[in-house]
Chain A
Amino acid sequence: MNPPPSTLFTAPTEWQWLIIFYFYLGGIAGGAYFLATLIDLAGHPADRPLARLGYFIAFPAIAICGLLLIADLRRPLRFWHMLVQSETLRPMLKWWSPMSFGSCILLLFGLFAFLSFLAALGESSDPRWRRLRGFSRLRRPGLLGTLVTCLGGVFGFFIAGYTGILLAVTNRPIWSDTNLLGLVFLISGTSTAAALMALLGRQLRWTRPEGVHALERFDSGMLVFELIAIVALVISLGSLARLWLSAWGALLVVGVLIVGILVPLVLYRRPGVFGRLGVAAAPVLVLVGGFLLRVVIILSSEAV
């Protein structure tokens, strides 16, 4: 008789809704900054406002993430112990601990997201932000702007992906039975960020339609990549995949794969299917699917 998987003998972490929202918003924040960096580096000059939108999303989202994480601690006032050794006041970093590494990256990303947020505000034509115009040097072109954008983009990539690795580097069922959670969360974070930027870009009319179309085309590619990655993730779980022969599996198939990936893929290709509603429906469904993905991944393991 085969012994049962050892991960079934562990205790749940009680990471629940606050962490789900953190993973979701963190993915969007990191993804939005990452995309804004790509647009700033390689995009058409006319799409500069689209990248600006990415910076406007990234900072508030990551600021909320910090609050969510602090609120989730059982001793919230000791949040700084993640960054500073409480006894020696030396910096606290264990690169091999994803939570320690992630705390430092969160701080650094928050700093760069803030700088780019200021730069984006400084480019505003609104006279209320006139005093911030000097900060516009923190965006490309220019060496300083390029440096800030590139470093922030790298940190954004880490923020979008490390959350999956945080789950994998435990001994909990599902989470630690695959090495693909970081990959899936990274793709999903970028995809949901692209969807949000496309949705807001279209609604706010900050950019030309070609910019939004490019984001939608990019998101279509990400959805296909995400579909492949999720199928690979299920296969990599081996016998543990049977834990998803449950309501969680149904939510994964219906909520994530069908509603969050396949339907938006069709809508991106044929936006007229649902009339005018279809244009906004695709990114909204991608955002819903990205959230449900994290719900399934986190709560299905916590339920064991």
Chain B
Amino acid sequence: MAESMGFFTDTTVCIGCKACEVACKEWNQLPAANGGVNTLSGDSYDNTRRLDGLHWRHVRFVEQFTPDRKDGRWLLMSDVCKHCVQAGCLEVCPTGAIIRTEFDTVVIQSDVCNGCRDCIGACPFGVIDINPASGTAQKCTLCYDRLQVGLEPACAKACPTNSIQFGTIAELKTRAQARVERLRGQGETRAHLYGADDKMLGGLNSFFLLVDRPEVYGLPPDPRLPSRNLAPSWWATLFGGVVVGLAGLFNFRSRGRRP
């Protein structure tokens, strides 16, 4: 197996140009939404709004303004599939369409997926969606086809500020930690890494440098695997089955004894 590859996204240098979104759509031949008719969000300069089946990269605009709009700040983050080391989508997929590649990334095989949508609910980050063109669940593949021929993913290639960095996970972590320390040294004490250590789903192969709480960026503070509920739910159901079964046997048997 090749070394684990991934993204380190430094949100502090993202300028919201959306070149990554465009590069992703172009390389992966993702069609325009609404047949190309532009729909404005109406409450944000971000008109993509979220990751979905047609947008595998999304630059999130966090627009924090006071009610009188005299003061404010922008937080910008290019969001993408996290390629979790312990992936909820891969765990639940009933067809085997979701696989882990030799680069330790998570890929949905579109020719196997039957559109059951279990993975959509299982993803702790709300990344996966149905692509209406294919009728299958789709998301970032970390440009699996490009990786196989030694190219870097299209989004990282297009990013003009190096906010999206591609490389081996070990190298990216070293680079990210150095960047956090540098920012803290410059006074940005809130700088921290999200998903870089293995406490979060075994580690996110697409991790982020943030300067606010994760939920401000639309990221879950404590993402977990769906299978955490498997054993307790079965035990509760089996308990119910025993009670129902005994109640039924007692009910019908006791009556059966009567003449």
Of the candidates A9, A97, A165, which one forms a contact with B233 in the assembled complex, judged by CB atoms under 8 Å apart? A165
- List 12 A-B pairs, Cβ < 8 Å: A10-B125, A13-B120, A74-B114, A74-B117, A96-B230, A99-B116, A99-B118, A165-B230, A171-B122, A182-B237, A187-B240, A218-B252
B131 nearest in chain A by CB position: A74
CB–CB A74/B135 < 8 A: yes
Complex interface bits, B233-254 against A, C-beta within 8 A gives 1, otherwise 0: 1101101110111011101110
For chain A, residues 161 to 183, give those with C-beta under 8 angstroms from any C-beta of chain B. Answer: 161-162, 164-166, 168-172, 175-176, 179-183
Chain A contact residue count (CB 8 A cutoff):
70
CB–CB B94/A99 < 8 A: yes
CB–CB B241/A157 < 8 A: yes
CA–CA, A183 to B222, complex, Å? 26
Of the candidates A8, A75, A217, which one forms a contact with B136 in the assembled complex, judged by CB atoms under 8 Å apart? A75
Residues on B with C-beta less than 8 A from A74 are 114-117, 130, 135-136
CB–CB B96/A176 < 8 A: no
CA–CA, A180 to B219, complex, Å? 27
CB–CB B91/A96 < 8 A: yes
Distance in Å: Cβ of A52 to nearest Cβ of chain B:
14
- B256 contacts A by Cβ under 8 Å: yes
CA–CA, A63 to B121, complex, Å? 26
Most buried by B among A39, A76, A78, A175: A78
Most buried by A among B121, B239, B258: B121
CB–CB B223/A171 < 8 A: yes
Residues on B with C-beta less than 8 A from A182 are 233-234, 236-237, 240
Complex interface bits, A107-144 against B, C-beta within 8 A gives 1, otherwise 0: 00000000000000000000000000000000000000
- A186 contacts B by Cβ under 8 Å: yes
Distance in Å: Cβ of A27 to nearest Cβ of chain B:
12
Distance in Å: Cβ of B44 to nearest Cβ of chain A:
18
Complex interface bits, A50-93 against B, C-beta within 8 A gives 1, otherwise 0: 00000000000000000000001111101101100111000010
Residues on B with C-beta less than 8 A from A79 are 114
Residues on A with C-beta less than 8 A from B243 are 225
A175 nearest in chain B by CB position: B121
In this complex, the interface size class of chain B, counting residues with CB under 8 Å from chain A, is 35 or more
- A205 contacts B by Cβ under 8 Å: no
Of the candidates B93, B125, B221, B240, which one forms a contact with A3 in the assembled complex, judged by CB atoms under 8 Å apart? B221
CB–CB B252/A39 < 8 A: yes
- A residues in contact (CB < 8 Å) with B: 3-4, 6-15, 34-35, 38-39, 41-44, 47, 72-76, 78-79, 81-82, 85-87, 92, 94, 96-100, 103, 157, 161-162, 164-166, 168-172, 175-176, 179-183, 186-187, 190, 210, 214, 217-218, 221-222, 225, 229
For chain B, residues 112 to 146, give those with C-beta under 8 angstroms from any C-beta of chain A. Answer: 112-118, 120-130, 135-136
A81 nearest in chain B by CB position: B95
A171 nearest in chain B by CB position: B124
CB–CB A11/B241 < 8 A: no
Distance in Å: Cβ of B112 to nearest Cβ of chain A:
5
CA–CA, A190 to B244, complex, Å? 8
Distance in Å: Cβ of B165 to nearest Cβ of chain A:
24
Asked whether A6 and B256 contact (CB < 8 A) given A169-B226, A186-B244, the answer is no
CA–CA, A34 to B252, complex, Å? 13
Of the candidates B229, B234, B255, which one forms a contact with A214 in the assembled complex, judged by CB atoms under 8 Å apart? B255
CB–CB A170/B126 < 8 A: no
Residues on B with C-beta less than 8 A from A10 are 121, 123-126, 220
CB–CB B240/A221 < 8 A: no
Those 3 A-B pairs whose CB atoms lie nearest each other, nearest first: A74-B115, A182-B237, A6-B220
Asked whether A6 and B244 contact (CB < 8 A) given A38-B249, A214-B255, the answer is no
CB–CB B122/A221 < 8 A: no
Distance in Å: Cβ of A157 to nearest Cβ of chain B:
5
CA–CA, A181 to B226, complex, Å? 14
Residues on B with C-beta less than 8 A from A171 are 88, 121-124, 223-224, 226
Residues on A with C-beta less than 8 A from B94 are 82, 92, 94, 97, 99-100, 103
CB–CB A169/B227 < 8 A: yes
Residues on B with C-beta less than 8 A from A162 are 237
Residues on B with C-beta less than 8 A from A170 are 92, 118, 121-122, 226
